[in-house]
A and B are shown apart, each in its own frame.
Chain A
Amino acid sequence: MAKEFIARGADLELKKIRKEFPGFTAIEELDLHVPAGEFFALLGPSGCGKTTTLRLVAGLESPTTGNIFIGGEDVTETKPHERPVNTVFQSYALFPHMNVLENVAFGLRQRKIDEPLVKAKEALNLVQLAHLADRKPQQLSGGQQQRVALARALVNRPSLLLLDEPLGALDLKLRREMQIELKAIQMEVGLTFLHVTHDQEEAMDMADTVAVMNKGRIEQMGAPEALYDRPKTVFVSKFLGQSNLLVGNVESTSANSISIEIAGNKISVPKARAEKHTGKIAIGFRPEKATFTSKKPTASSSTNIIGPGEIIDIRFTGVSNQYLIEVPGLGNLTVFAQNVGKSPVTELGEKVWISWSVEHSFGLSDLPSTGEVV
């Protein structure tokens, strides 16, 4: 089944996948299409079903219902060893009884590919570990093991490479290095990567497309920029970066925008950026898109203004200051100000007005659970 070396990746399609385990449902219903050659990230908190999805694609679990297609071929019923898929496991799972080179050559040997050791050596060169070929995996550091696991998967030129939080066990610096390296390798080999992670920065940094998973469902899918710019649900707005959410009833509607009334402030969002246009809705904005001033800015139809509020906390993070502003009747809102040396107000207890462009607002399809306004 696993064919000769495939030059390019294949696309992956999951149709109406449902996976139940005794006692709980890991995946409610999942439809997913990953185009060939794409770096696709499944992002979600632990227990959201993302690793289960990966195991379904690898064939290590079988779906309760639904079908899996790789390169247009239905592989739902095929065994793991018959699928043109390789996995970089979270634990790496390098065989402890083989040296690094034999580990990398394992898949080639199983498929009776010519010159397995030569090709394995090339793969080790790709991850810059050729000099450690004779070592046992347990003699390597975590980062080196991770690279071996990557080489062991890549050497088979799978149609689809699955990465199960492969960088989770590495320290921050090494993780950033490996992210860059992994992305570079993906560009070089042109395979389809399906990357599972709970690290939103990692997903946004590396992936062409990110699917945010929650409670066994995909909440939203798209390019990282699009997801960040216009989250559609409360979960996505919080999981991918930070958001301020304001909840109120739609009071007025114009040709292009809708507005809610909240604590005496009128907050607008363009219709095209709102999921719901009537009733009680949540409008959000990103902390770095807002600014604050000590005088109330002049009202304009293109600007949302909230205030006055009081600065109750300032956190210095290096590149920016993070201000926590308490607005009576609204709760606490966060505003980031770039650290360019001329912060408008820097004193605790100052009275300020927060403003941001209507264009930067987004309307969500659901509401935050009660009392959750950040």
Chain B
Amino acid sequence: MAFAAFSSSKPKGFSKPTKTGKVVIALLAPGLAYLGAFFLTPLFALIMVSLQAPDPMGGFGDYIPAFEINNYFVVVSEYLPQMLRSFGYALSATILALVISYPLAYFIGVKARPYPLLQKLMLTLVIAPFFISFLLRTLAWKQIFSNESWIVTTLQQIGLLESDQYVVGTPFMVIFGLTYNFIPFMTLPLYTSLERLDTRYLEAGADLYASPSRVFRKVTIPLSMPGIISGTLLTFIPIAGDYINASGDFLGSSSTAMIGNVIEANYLQINDYPAASALSVLLMGAILILVAGYVKKSGTEDLL
């Protein structure tokens, strides 16, 4: 009613908020300029390069502008296993990180609530690895699981590994490294979500005949869904494009090469820029489709 009174005598100079005014454009301009300069331009350049053809007159690594759509079919047929492997590794590492992070985040965010000091200490410990370059940390793992390390020799002695089997270079090692490196990106969003979890809902669930495990599935998980979604996205997307862990210089070998390693090799070693670009575009498209489907299915807009 009060609003109706205002609307009848609307002061002049106020345009409807739904219309884009000059101020809005002015405020948006820096952001749009940034997106244009640093996102759209490289993207456009990338797509252009991905369609280039080898220069018939030039030498090795020379390409001319073209519309060689065939590049895409070539890279897909050639590198499909690495693509699938990337998503397989990314999925495994994301699930592992979620399984490890959820109890950790629950403990810090819910159980440790009465002890704020402990809470802060544990959060610091989660972030602490960031203070050391992740290249160094990954190399450290390589050292720990190196062929001569006591872990590997022990595993060989007790028969879990054959005497000619090693850990470095295996899918296990790569997924382990990926999980390890991206756990904080999972833990922190989960923590933010669980830290706000109102435990009275859990009591209400128990009061309504739900056993602790059912309370967890029916109340805790749905209420922490925003954290689960942002955590899984923050780990899955970078892991799918990661080229450090799977590289032969670190934890992987040629048999564990992910799409990131293929792009790196094509671009830096065999100078096949169109193939590298085409793979990048495909990776981006695949992630976009997967993420869009995932977000739509988990219904983030419906959460709280």
How many Å lie between the Cα of A96 and that of B226 in the bound state?
13
Name the distance in Å between B217's Cβ and chain A's nearest Cβ.
11
The 0/1 profile, CB within 8 Å of B marked 1, for residues 104-115 of chain A is 001100110000
Residue of B nearest to A80 (CB): B206
- Closest-by-CB residue of B relative to A152 is B208
A81 touches B211 (CB 8 A): yes
Tell yes or no: A91 within 8 A of B by CB.
yes
Interface membership of chain A positions 281-307, coded 1 if the CB is closer than 8 angstroms to chain B and 0 otherwise:
000000000000000000000000000
Q: Hey, what's the 0/1 contact readout for B203-246 against A, CB within 8 Å counting as 1? A: 11111111110110011001101000000000000000000000
B200 interfacial contact with A, CB 8 Å: yes
Residues of chain B within 8 A of A156, CB atoms compared: 208-209
B209 touches A95 (CB 8 A): no
Question: On chain A, which size bracket covers the interface?
Answer: 20 to 34
Q: In the assembled complex, how far is the CB of residue B110 from the closest CB belonging to chain A, in whole angstroms?
A: 16
B128 at the interface (CB under 8 A from A): no
Q: Which residues of the other chain, A, contact B200 by a CB distance below 8 angstroms?
A: 89, 91, 93
B223, A106: Cβ atoms closer than 8 Å: no
CA distance A213 to B203 in the complex (A): 24
Q: Give the residues in chain A near B201, CB-CB below 8 Å.
A: 93, 95-96
> Which residues of B (22-69) have their CB < 8 Å from a CB of A?
none
Q: Nearest Cβ in chain B — how far from A58, in angstroms?
A: 6
Identity of the chain B residue whose Cβ is nearest the Cβ of A87 in the assembled complex: B207
Indicate if the CB atoms of B207 and A95 lie closer than 8 Å.
no
Q: Does A196 interact with chain B (Cβ within 8 Å)? A: no
Interface assignment of A79: CB less than 8 Å from any CB of chain B: yes
A123 to chain B, nearest CB (A): 13
Asked if B4 is at the interface (CB within 8 A of a chain A CB), the reply is no
A167 interfacial by beta-carbon distance below 8 Å: no
Question: CA A97 – CA B220 in complex, angstroms?
Answer: 10
Number of interface residues of B (CB under 8 A): 22
Complex CA distance for A27 and B304, rounded to whole angstroms: 38
Q: Are B207 and A80 in contact (CB under 8 A)?
A: yes
B residues in contact with A87, CB < 8 Å: 204, 207
Tell me whether B214 and A110 are in contact (CB under 8 A). yes
Residues of B within 8 A of A2 (CB): 209
Which B178-204 residues sit within 8 Å CB-CB of chain A? 198, 200-201, 203-204
CA distance A106 to B205 in the complex (A): 8
Q: Is the CB of A106 within 8 A of B210?
A: yes
Report yes or no: A60 in contact with B207, Cβ–Cβ below 8 A. Answer: yes
B303 in the interface (beta carbon within 8 A): yes
Tell me if A93 and B303 are in contact (CB < 8 A). Answer: no
**Residues of chain B lying within 8 A (CB to CB) of residue A89:** 200, 203-204, 207
A86 on the interface (CB 8 Å rule)? yes
| Measured CA separation A156–B210 after assembly (Å) | 13
Contacts of A58 in B (CB 8 A): 203, 207
Q: Determine the distance from Cα of A315 to Cα of B213 in the docked complex, in whole angstroms.
A: 59
Tell me the smallest distance from the CB of A144 to a CB of chain B, in Å. 17
Q: For window 89-137 of chain A, which residues contact chain B by CB distance below 8 Å?
A: 89, 91, 93-97, 106-107, 110-111
The answer to the question of A210 belonging to the interface, with a C-beta cut-off of 8 Å to chain B, is no
Interface digits, A169-190 against B, CB 8 Å rule (1 contact, 0 not)? Answer: 0000000000000000000000
The verdict on A107 contacting B209 (CB below 8 Å), with A89-B200, A89-B204, A93-B201 known, is: yes
The answer to whether B210 and A81 have CB atoms under 8 Å apart is yes
Task: Decide if A97 touches B303 in the complex (CB within 8 Å).
Answer: yes
Is residue A85 contacting chain B, with contact meaning CB distance below 8 A?
A: yes
Q: Which residues of B contact A106 (CB under 8 A)?
A: 205, 208, 210, 218
Q: A89 CA to B200 CA in the complex, in Å?
A: 9
In Å, the complex CA distance between A293 and B205 comes to 61
Contact yes or no, B204 A93, CB < 8 A? yes
Q: How far is the CA of A111 from the CA of B218 in the complex (A)?
A: 14
| Chain B residues closer than 8 Å to A86, beta-carbon distance | 207-208
CB within 8 Å of B: which of A74-90? 79-81, 85-87, 89
Q: Which residue from B203, B208, B209, B210 sits with its C-beta under 8 Å from A60?
A: B203
Determine how close the nearest CB of chain A comes to the CB of B113; give it in whole angstroms.
15
Query: Which B residues are CB-close (under 8 A) to A60?
Result: 203, 206-207
A107 contact set on B, CB distance < 8 A? 208-209
Q: Is the CB of B209 within 8 A of A79?
A: no
What are 8 A-B residue pairs whose CB atoms fall within 8 Å in the complex?
A58-B207, A81-B207, A81-B210, A93-B200, A93-B201, A97-B223, A97-B304, A107-B209
Q: With contacts A2-B209, A91-B200, A97-B222 known, what are 15 further pairs, Cβ within 8 A?
A: A58-B203, A59-B206, A60-B203, A81-B207, A81-B212, A93-B200, A93-B201, A93-B203, A95-B222, A96-B304, A97-B223, A107-B208, A110-B214, A111-B209, A156-B209
Instruction: Give me the interface of A with B, judged by CB distance under 8 Å.
Output: 2, 58-60, 79-81, 85-87, 89, 91, 93-97, 106-107, 110-111, 152, 156
User: Which 4 pairs across A and B sit closest by C-beta, in order of nearness?
Assistant: A107-B208, A93-B204, A80-B206, A110-B209
